[in-house]
Structure 1
């Protein structure tokens, strides 16, 4: 195989591994292009033709497009264009997609009720795995399902069946975007969120659409754009079915953004609204489901919000949340890590630096801290340093080792 075809095969494999279509990648090129390059880019249709030509090995990839591929796929240029095959991706056999496909082919040539129900169940299983799964692992599983759904879109089905399949694709795209954000893949996440929003509109599903806005608000919080987070969180509340999970989560997210802005009155107003919404709620059947709000989550969000606001009540609140989570650590290990960071930051605010170091060390060295939360650990490291705690050096070393 020629070098051009080897490179083309690598580009195609990396694009598909991210669940991107050629059209998605063309749009991503426009998003990542520096101003000097963006001004010289052709139309989207021409970009798509160029990408297909590169993937087919019809022509070499020039310096301008090397820059775009490197930025869009977030892979170093030397690795991407070496002509070597991509690293082997683990094929997961525990999702049952082969069984779903076999049953579909045996039953009929179209998309039947059994296939749709199996995919809807799979969405719930994947979303419920979120609190205890590594983002990279869950993203791989979710991509497999997205690829399968994409293949089914060309199969014969009724309009009602197509809508259900579109909704499945919307949930999967949303979950994949959430994993991408956890991993720090902001550009891929943006493409997936746009896809999820489009599918939500096509499927007539305002809950998914609202979740896309809430997820963008969360990303804005992690990126430090707190006023944009408020705008997005309020937009999610306007779009969401009132009282539903997306509506409550967006209200809580608004409170967190206000807390980062130091707006005490607005923060407490949002917390009060969440409390009123959650008060009549029963515990859902699957509280670990990422897109189903459970009452216990409001306690965790309150701990986060109060610690960010610097409220003296944050220590007791965060300690209580951590204690309850530790009693069932196996269910939500990632939430335990977040609770430790909340408590550590609250302890810093209370001047209890020694305990803050101990609590933060457990979070940082747990192996469960995801890139989207590294900044929260860094905030604790800085706060402990300002308190001149002797053990801060150990925490700094751990941060560099696990989050560097």
Structure 2
């Protein structure tokens, strides 16, 4: 049956009408940004609960009458919240849940045609591969993410993840190539408005990734300098630690450098500080802690400080 002009106008009007006002969506944007900004320091249990609750609320809006633009916005907000929940699930050691949520985020990204969210979903895959020792998987995930989000900030972090993989494969040239690509991308991006948002890459975060690479390559002086800069940039004027997980890995880097230089007391000191941080990403923390533990076990297992650190790390690993 042919559609008359009046019927066509009615259809367009229905598509442009909505049960959700723009102020509601703006409030949800602000809430999503707030939750993503609380990732570095809010207790994992609290953040994952809030994230899931808000994800459920936002997803529930799809059952209401939305304009096409609002429908896309709801899918986008759901994608960001899914990415956040996935991060915290993995921090807590719940790998199956994190992978399921990652796949959901990627599906939402594809449905909303949002390359940036898709890029972060691939970046998460690279992170999972990093902590499980699948270094070729990191490279594949990084390249897949770069293909879908070449001009977004996530491309910087994807380059950094690829550099981490090459560093663990002991390929210095490819590590430097990936780091250089990430730096050039960073220099070409506008300075972020909200540095606290977990899905924003800033110079301090890139230093953190480079620190990891140079530690693996045995460049102790560069790694130490970068670790000190990460700690400085992550500490407020009053001593408050704004990025405790990042600082934990910086301290472990300083611990590795101290252990290589023969200072077991300082090495273990840094190692213990990292293990006792209130906000932890367990897979990443244990991965870097084992680097320090390998040196302590090899060179200082007979010393009391070395034994105590190894016992503490073993206890945490068993609990995880």
Alpha-carbon distance, 1:369 to partner: 2.9
Contact residue 131 and residue 290 of structure 1 kept, 8 A: yes
Paired residues of 1:365 and 1:402 also in contact (CA < 8 A): no
Aligned to 2:186: 278
Determine if contact 1:258/1:267 at 8 Å carries over to the other structure.
yes
Q: Which runs of 5+ in 2 are unaligned?
A: 1-16
* Structure 1: distance between partners of 2:167 and 2:252: 16
- Offset at 1:148? 0.6
Write the mapping of 1:74-113 to structure 2, written as runs, cut at 5 A: 110-113=19-22
Give the corresponding residue for 1:306: 214
| Correspondence for 1:399 | 313
When the two structures are superposed, what TM-score results if normalisation uses the length of structure 2? 0.86
Match of 2:196 in 1: 288
Q: How does 1:35-54 map to 2 (within 5 A)?
A: none
Residue 305 of structure 1, CA deviation:
1.3
Cα separation, 1, equivalents of 2:96 and 2:65: 33
How far apart, in 1, do the equivalents of 2:258 and 2:55 lie? 43
Measure, in 1, the Cα distance between the counterparts of 2:116 and 2:209. 21
Per the TM alignment, residue 282 of structure 1 is displaced from its structure 2 partner at its CA by: 5.2
Local SS of the residue matching 1:184: coil
Deviation at 1:397, TM superposition (A): 3.0
Q: Equivalent residue for 2:105?
A: 196
Indicate how the Cα distance of structure 1 residues 276 and 214 shifts in structure 2: closer, same or farther if over 3 A, else same.
same
Secondary structure of the residue aligned to 2:277 is: coil
Give distance in 2, aligned partners of 1:325 and 1:352: 25
* Aligned-partner Cα distance in 2 for 1:393–1:258: 32
Deviations 1:311-362 (A, max 9, x none): 2332232233223434554322222112112222233344443321111111
Indicate the SS of the match to 1:111.
coil
Q: Of 258, 262, 279, which residue of structure 2 is paired with 1:347?
A: 258
Aligned length: 296
Q: What does residue 225 of structure 2 align with?
A: 316
C-alpha displacement at 1:231, in angstroms?
0.9
1:387 partner SS:
helix
State the match for 1:269 in structure 2. 177
In 1, distance between residues paired with 2:228 and 2:114? 38
Q: Is the 8 A contact 1:307 1:342 kept in 2?
A: yes
Give the aligned partner of residue 297 of structure 2: 385
Distance 1:270 1:191 in 2: 29
User: How far apart in 2 are the matches of 1:164 and 1:369?
Assistant: 32
Higher relative contact order (CA 8 A, sep 6+): 2
Match runs of 1:210-221 below 5 Å:
210-221=119-130
Does the 8 Å contact 1:240/1:247 carry over to 2? Answer: yes
Q: How many Å apart are 1:258 and its aligned residue?
A: 0.9
Match of 2:75 in 1: 166
* Structure 2 Cα separation of the partners of residues 128 and 214 of structure 1: 18
1:231 to 100, 117, 140: 140
Aligned-partner Cα distance in 1 for 2:116–2:214:
28
Distance, in Å, in 2 between the alignment partners of 1:327 and 1:117 is 30
Partner-residue secondary structure (3-state), 1:287? coil
What stretches of structure 1 of length at least 5 have no aligned partner?
1-107
1:176 match: 85
